Amino acid sequence: MNHPKEDRTPPDPAQRPDKLPTRVLLVDDHPVVALGLIDFLKDRPEFKIVGHVESGRLAIRRVLDLKPDIVVMDISMPGMNGIEATIAIKREAPQARIIIYSMHSDQEYLIELLKAGISGYVLKGSPLNELVTALGVVKDGSSYYTKEMSDKLADFLKNEPPGLDPKTPLAKLSKREYEVFVMLADGWAIKKIAARLGIRPKTVETHKYNLMGKLEASNISDLTKLAIRFNLITL
């Protein structure tokens, strides 16, 4: 297939940083998928495809060489897969943000990749517009997950104490604090949370105090913004 010419030219210092396009590296061994993404993004000036590779091992080299802002990474690839490549990239170039773009929706993949430090997870069955949305959200420093993957994350966190990357704010919460956090962020009253969880309102207040301290939140609005950032609730 014809690959986009890799752009090794550093950004023009005369351009304002906020006007520079977000540099994207595609990592996918399916030519049809890659060409479709390249074609879909070519008319969006806020993004610039700087290269496309078909293996995880080659992705590591290109990240170090091209220094993309975001890597769109498949999971199933010959040789080194996307999970192994993600772990290696985050170790060698921790500033690179990685969005997983895969047909796999397994919870164990999601958890392993979250521990590696990904910034997003979009399923290939989703409309391409959702991938563009994820690129925009991740570009601005937040995280984005397809609803199905967000639900799997919420389910995992409700049943296990968060064991995510220490950099992830939610990893600081206990299982019960996480449950209270999501309900508070979604606008639930203290008494309603207590009734749902089968605990006293005073206990909910204690969890609220503790989790707000751990998340460095000043008010419920801060909690809501954090929950939206992780795609755990929607407005």
| pLDDT tens-digit readout, 13-68 | 444 455 789 999 999 998 888 888 889 888 889 999 999 999 999 999 999 999 99
Q: Which tens digit of pLDDT belongs to each residue from 64-109? A: 999 999 999 999 888 889 999 999 999 999 999 999 999 988 877 8
Query: Of 146, 178, 196, which residue is a domain's last?
Result: 146
Pairing mode, strands 22-27 and 120-123: unpaired
Average pLDDT value for the chain: 84
Instruction: Name the band, by pLDDT with cuts 50, 70 and 90, for residue 5.
Output: low
Same domain, yes or no, for 127 and 59? yes
Domain that holds residue 210: 161-229
Question: Would you state the structure tokens that stand for residue 110, as one six-digit string?
Answer: 């999601």
Q: Distance between CA 124 and CA 102 in Å, rounded?
A: 5
Q: Distance between CA 171 and CA 165 in Å, rounded?
A: 7
Domain-located, residue 155: no
Of all residues in the chain, the percent with pLDDT exceeding 90 is 34
Average pLDDT over residues 144-150: 87
**Residue 145 reports pLDDT greater than 70:** yes
**Residue 229 reports pLDDT greater than 90:** no
Region of 20 on the Ramachandran plot (φ > 0 left; ψ -120 to 50 alpha; else beta): beta
Q: What pLDDT was estimated at residue 43?
A: 86
Number of domains in the chain: 2
Q: What pLDDT was estimated at residue 14?
A: 44
Instruction: Supply the CATH number for residue 44's domain.
Output: 3.40.50.2300
Same domain, yes or no, for 137 and 40? yes
Same domain, yes or no, for 46 and 87? yes
Of all residues in the chain, the percent with pLDDT exceeding 70 is 85
Average pLDDT over residues 158-187: 73
Domain-located, residue 41: yes
Domain-located, residue 11: no
Query: Of 111, 146, 181, which residue is a domain's last?
Result: 146
Average pLDDT over residues 123-141: 91
Domain-located, residue 235: no
Domain-located, residue 156: no
Domain-located, residue 214: yes
